[in-house]
Structure formats: C-alpha cells, structure tokens
Amino acid sequence: QQQVKQSPQSLIVQKGGIPIINCAYENTAFDYFPWYQQFPGKGPALLIAIRPDVSEKKEGRFTISFNKSAKQFSLHIMDSQPGDSATYFCAAANTGNQFYFGTGTSLTVIP
C-alpha cells in the first residue's frame, strides 16, 4: 500500500509559470513532510519541509501548502526556471522513523 500518493506523474510549464505538485497521505501519525529534488544521476536533495503545526512555509521560490484535515500537502514553485527541471518527491515520516516517499513528479520548465 502506497503510504504517500503523489500527482501528477509529469508536468510541463513555461518559464515563469507556477507548477504545483500534490501529495496525500493516510497515516495521521506522520509529523514531518519534506520535499526532495533529484537531478539525473544524483541523489535526492532536501528542498523544503513542513510540520503539521503550520499551514504554509516559504523558502525562496518554493512554498509548501499543508492541509491537515484533508491530509494533503503541495509544493508550489514560483517563477519557475529551466534549471528547476528535475524530479520532485514528497515524503512523510513520523519523526525518528522511516521516510515514505511518493512516486515522483518529473518537471520540465520550457525556456
């Protein structure tokens, strides 16, 4: 059973657009929700993370929106650039325990 469901599988946007990637989870014990960015041939790199005590977190051009009641969270990338083209993974964890990753979203930003 997939603990974290991620959509869409792939996304193409124009430069300057705002891609949005969505994730949903079931386990209410999860209390840490990170997003990772992965380039081909590289390991995932932490982009931004949120805990369920806040509904939104911004770091630079990246924003996480968190809806605890709906058990959903999403990543927004403002003013997207071609260099943002990568695969993005959401994850969920109960602090101190294993991470559960989504299946990934391949983002392409067209110049």
Partner 1 sequence: GAGVSQTPSNKVTEKGKYVELRCDPISGHTALYWYRQSLGQGPEFLIYFQGTGAADDSGLPNDRFFAVRPEGSVSTLKIQRTERGDSAVYLCASSPTRSADTQYFGPGTRLTVL
Judged by the rule CB under 8 A, the positions of this chain that interact with partner 1 are: 4, 6, 32, 34, 36, 41-46, 49, 89, 91, 93, 95-104
What is the distance of C-alpha 111 from the center of its chain? 22
In the bound state with partner 1, the residue whose beta carbon lies nearer, of 55 and 97, is 97
| Beta carbon of residue 66, minimum distance to partner 1 (angstroms, whole number) | 16
In the bound state with partner 1, the residue whose beta carbon lies nearer, of 77 and 92, is 92
Mark 14-52 as b/e (b = at least 16 C-beta within 10 Å).
eeeeebebbbbbeeeebebbbbbbbeeeeebeebbebee
Two tokens, residue 2? 């997939």
| Beta carbon of residue 32, minimum distance to partner 1 (angstroms, whole number) | 6
In the bound state with partner 1, the residue whose beta carbon lies nearer, of 17 and 22, is 22
| Beta carbon of residue 9, minimum distance to partner 1 (angstroms, whole number) | 8
In the bound state with partner 1, the residue whose beta carbon lies nearer, of 4 and 77, is 4
Determine the residue type at 37. Answer: Q
Residue from 7, 29, 28, 3 nearest 19 by CA: 7
